[in-house]
Structure 1
Amino acid sequence: MQKWIMSGLFFAACTLAIVLIFFLPGKEQVAQENKTQMPEVTLNAEQAEAIVKANCISCHGDQLEGGNGPSLQTIGAVMSPEELYKVIHRGKGQMMPSFKGQLEDEEIANVALWLAEKK
């Protein structure tokens, strides 16, 4: 009886391993997904401000003074446009959501450029 149980567990483990081999992404695919490249855009301050007002003030305040999220009033002195783009695009932890599916990459880049000027 014990041999049958052990054989069944071994078979289940082998089956799971084979399924994972074919369905888990490879290192190259994960590396490609983790490469977040900021598109080149020209700053459009009015559009960026409208996007921020529509998406960010609930956590960062209407004057970017902070609240549930950190203050962004001088974020440009701390982070580059590329770093800001990555945070907005990917999100950060539980508090900062990813805006990848909600905003176009160009809109995220525009907001990142706008925020980078806040010094």
Structure 2
Amino acid sequence: MKWIMAAGVGLAGLLAAWLLLFQLPEKEAAAPEQPSASVPEVEVDAASMETIYKSNCMGCHGSDYQGAMGPALSQVGSALDRERLYAKIAKGGGGMPAFEGRLSEDEIVGLANWLEDFK
């Protein structure tokens, strides 16, 4: 009885190795997330963006943009362009909640433009 189980496990291992070596399709490179639309460059009222930040973002990203539960934003404009910032704020993802519906379109656009200047 033991030899039947051992043979079954051995055959399953051989089948798995064969499938891994010869049958799996090649891994496709994941395309970077492309924003669906361009975000207009608008003049930003820094004081109002700071107020929105303090009300909605500071709890996760820190009072000095240093990061806390969320990543640091002190140089986020070097890593993400305005469109990606807009998408992240609006749709969330990776632990960040979506702010579409909580913030107005103008507020999200303003935050994206404001954060893009953090370089």
Class of the TM-score when normalised by the shorter of the 2 chains = 0.5 to 0.7
TM-score (norm 1): 0.66
Distance 1:64 1:36 in 2: 27
Q: Does 1:113 align with 2:113?
A: yes
Alpha-carbon contact 1:39-1:105 (below 8 Å) kept = no
Unaligned residue ranges in structure 2 (runs of 5+): 1-34
- Structure with larger Rg: 2
Q: Deviations over 1:39-84 (max 9, x none)?
A: 5532111111110011001000000100100000000111111110
Alpha-carbon contact 2:61-2:71 (below 8 Å) kept = yes
1:98 is matched with which residue?
Answer: 98
* Dislocated runs of 4+, deviation >6 Å: none
1:67 is matched with which residue?
Answer: 68
1:52 is matched with which residue?
Answer: 53
Unaligned residue ranges in structure 1 (runs of 5+): 1-33
| Root mean square deviation of aligned Cα | 1.6
Alpha-carbon contact 1:39-1:106 (below 8 Å) kept = no
How many residue pairs align between the two structures? 85
Alpha-carbon contact 2:41-2:113 (below 8 Å) kept = no
